Structure 1
C-alpha cells in the first residue's frame, strides 16, 4: 500500500468515527441492502460466460507441443458490454471480474489484482487515454511525451505488473472530441493489446450503444485513399458484443417487486401487497426501464424509510415518491409515483441517472 492510499484509509476512518451511533447503524443496514444483487440469466450469466471464454484465450497455446509462454500464446479478444444509461454496466463488470477466482481484489488499490479498471477520460484522445492508464498503473508520465512513447510504456507497464485484463469504463467518451484520425489511432492501439505475441491482454470495454459503430468502422479507407488494414470482419472476430437489455413493462415487474421486497426485508421492513402491480411498474418507468437506475431509486427509498421518525416498518410508495422528488427536483405533476396516469409522463425530461447520461457530442465537421 502506498503512502497516499494509507492516508486515504486514515481519513475514511476519521469520517466513520465522527458519525453518531444511529448514523452508523443506518449505514450498516444500507450497506447490506446495497449488497443484495439481482442476478438475471440473460445479463449476468451471458456476460460471465463470455468473460470465461475470453479468459481461456489467455492460456491457450498456438502449438500444443510447445510450452505456454511468449511466442506460443493465442491472440485475445475484447468483451464490449453496452447498455443505455443506468443499465448497470460498471457494476456488472465489477461483479463478473471480482467473482472470477483468478482476479481476487479487483478494484482494490494495492491488492495486486491481475485485472485493472480505468475510467476513460473526458474529453479523450489517444494521448489522454494512454496517460490515464499509466496513472492508474502507478506510472504517471509527462504530457509532453509523444503518443507512441506513452502507449509503448503502457504495454511495458502492463507486462511488468502482470496485468492480463484491462477494463476501460465509459469507453464512449472517446467519441466526444476525437477526430477521425484519432479514433482510428485509438482502435489500432487497442487492437495491439489483443494481437501481441508476447503479452496479449483481454480488453473489457463498457459504454453506451454508440460505441458499437466505433468498432465496426475500421473498414473505411484512409484519407490518402489507401485501404485501412482493419476490416469490419476483423473487428467482429476480435470483439464479442454483449448488450444489457432494458427492462420490459410486461415481463419484469414481478422480478423487480421480488427484489424490492428482498431489500426491504434486509432493512427490517415489509412491503404492501401487490407491489408487482401497484409499485414495480411505476418504478421501472421512473427509472427509464434500466435495471441499475431501478435499484438506485429503490435504495434511495429504503434509505428515506430508515430515516423516517419513527422508522418505517413498511416500505411504501410514499418513500419512492420522495426519493424521486429528491433525485430529480420534479414537481408532483411530473412524479410517476404521484399521478394516476403515470405512463404518460416522459421521465427522460426530468431524470438523469448518472454522469454518463450526457449525450455524446457530435464531432465538429472539418476536423481530420
Structure 2
C-alpha cells in the first residue's frame, strides 16, 4: 500500500468513526432503565433517612443481564442522574457520591478493594492484608462521604472461584452495608453468572433489590426498539424507505442482536454509519447485513439479514462458517 492509499484509508475510517461517535451518545430510556433507576434512587434515599435515625443496615441494587444488553451504560446514566439530582436538591447529609469500579478478572477481595481505592483517589498496593484494605476502604468511604459503591463485572468474582471464596467475597462487601459509622449501599452490574454469587449468600440476596434484563420479544419490546432506531435514523439524516415498519424486519433485527437491546442499538449505529460512509441517502437491509458482517465475520449463509432461514442462526457466535471445510471469507452479498 502506498502512502497516498494509506492516507485515503485513514481519512475514510476517520470519517466513519466521527459519524459513529456522533450517534454513540444516543440513549433510550427503556422500561428496564426506569426500573433500575427507581431501585437505585430508592435504596440511596432510604439510606439517608435510616442513617439520620441511627439505623445502620442498608440495602443495595443489582442489574443483571447478558453481555451486550446495555447494563453498564444504563447504570452509568442512573449514577449520573442521581448525583446531579442530589446536588440540585441541596445535597445529602450522609453523602451522595457513588464510586464505580470494575471488578478485576479472577478477582479477590484484596484486588477489588485496591480497584475501589484507586477510583476514590487513594492508591494502595495489593501486598497489604485483606483486613487492612477493608479497614482502609471503610475509612476512605467516610472521608470522601461516599454513599454507594458500584461494582461492575461482578461475575468475575465468582467465575474462577470456589463456593467458599465466593462466600467470602460476598460477605466482605455486604458487610459494608451494615457496619457503622458509615455504611454504604452496594450496587452491582454483572452478567447472568453473578446470580450464583448473589444467591449463594442469603443475606446479600435479601439486601439487594435486583433487576434482570430479559431477552427482547417483538410483542413487548418491538415498539420501543423501533422508536429508538427511528430516532437514530433521524439523527443520521438518512431515511429507511419504510424498512423499520416492515412486520418481518423487527424479528430479524432482534435475532441478529441475540435479543439484546444494547446490541441492537449498536448494530443500528453501525448500519447507519455504513450507509453514510457509502454516501447513500437511505439505510437498507444490505447496510444491516454489512454491519452484522463487520461485527461477526460470519459467512453470508449465517447472516440473518441475508439468510431466508435466519431464525436457525446462532447469533451469539463470531467467525462462524457454513461449511466445515475452510474457505476464504468474503464481503456479504445482497439479500435475494
**TM-score class, shorter:** 0.7 to 0.9
For 1:251 and 1:76, locate their aligned partners in 2 and report how far apart those are by CA, in whole Å. 34
CA contact (8 A) 2:24 2:269 kept: yes
Q: 1:83 aligns with which of 57, 65, 85?
A: 65
The 1-side partners of 2:232 and 2:319 are apart by 23
Task: Give the structure 2 partner of residue 299 of structure 1.
Answer: 269
CA distance in structure 2 between the partners assigned to 1:25 and 1:337 by the alignment? 25
**1:139-154 matches, cutoff 5 A:** 139-154=122-137
Q: How many residues align?
A: 302
Q: Report if the CA contact (8 A) 2:20-2:270 is conserved.
A: no
* CA deviations over 1:282-328 (Å, ceiling 9, x no partner): 121011001011111111111111211xx221111111111111111
| Comparing 86-95 and 246-255, the one that deviates more | 246-255
Q: Does 1:318 align with 2:318?
A: no
The equivalent of 1:270 in structure 2 is 239
Secondary structure of the residue aligned to 2:283 is: coil
Q: Does structure 2 retain, via aligned residues, the 8 Å contact 1:29–1:266?
A: no
Alignment of 1:56-95 (within 5 A): 56-61=45-50, 68=52, 72-95=54-77
CA distance in 2 between partners of 1:117 and 1:351 (Å) = 34
C-alpha distance in 1 between matches for 2:226 and 2:309:
20
Q: Mind listing any 5+ residue stretches in structure 1 that lack a counterpart?
A: 1-18, 63-67, 105-111, 219-231, 353-368
Instruction: Give 1:343's aligned residue.
Output: 311
Q: Is the 8 A contact 2:23 2:269 kept in 1?
A: yes
> Does 2:182 match 1:199?
yes
The change in CA–CA distance for 1:316 and 1:207 in structure 2 (over 3 A counts) is same
CA distance in 1, matches of 2:161, 2:192: 17
d(CA) in 2 for partners of 1:30, 1:327 = 14
Which one of 209, 214, 223 corresponds to residue 197 of structure 2? 214
Instruction: Tell me the CA shift for residue 83 of structure 1.
Output: 0.9
- Structure 1 residues 124 and 84 mapped into 2: Cα distance closer, same or farther (>3 Å)? same
Distance in 2 between residues matched to 1:350 and 1:239, nearest whole Å: 35
Q: Write the mapping of 1:1-368 to structure 2, written as runs, cut at 5 A.
A: 29-41=19-31, 43-61=32-50, 68=52, 72-100=54-82, 101-102=84-85, 114-218=97-201, 232=202, 234-276=203-245, 277-308=247-278, 311-350=279-318
- Say which is worse superposed, 76-85 or 32-41, in terms of deviation: 32-41
Whole-angstrom CA distance in 1 between matches of 2:218 and 2:312: 14
* CA contact 1:73–1:197 (8 Å) conserved in 2: no
State the secondary structure of the residue aligned to 1:45.
Answer: helix
Are the structure 2 counterparts of residues 169 and 103 from structure 1 closer, same or farther at C-alpha, using a change threshold of 3 Å?
farther
- Distance in 2 between the 1:322 and 1:73 partners? 56
Per the TM alignment, residue 176 of structure 1 is displaced from its structure 2 partner at its CA by 1.9
* Deviates most, 244-253 or 155-164: 244-253
Please give the secondary structure, in 2, of the residue aligned with 1:348: coil
Deviation at 1:351, TM superposition (A): 7.3
Shift of 1:58: 2.2
Task: State the secondary structure of the residue aligned to 2:316.
Answer: helix
Distance across 1 between alignment mates of 2:13 and 2:196: 47
Residues 274 and 287 in structure 2, CA contact (< 8 A), matched pair in contact too: yes
Q: 1:61 Cα shift?
A: 3.7
Q: Which runs of 5+ in 2 are unaligned?
A: 1-9, 88-94, 321-336
| 2:96–2:147 CA contact under 8 A, matched in 1 | no
Runs of 4+ in 1 over 6 A off after TM superposition: 22-25
Distance 2:304 2:274 in 1: 18
TM-score by length of 1: 0.76
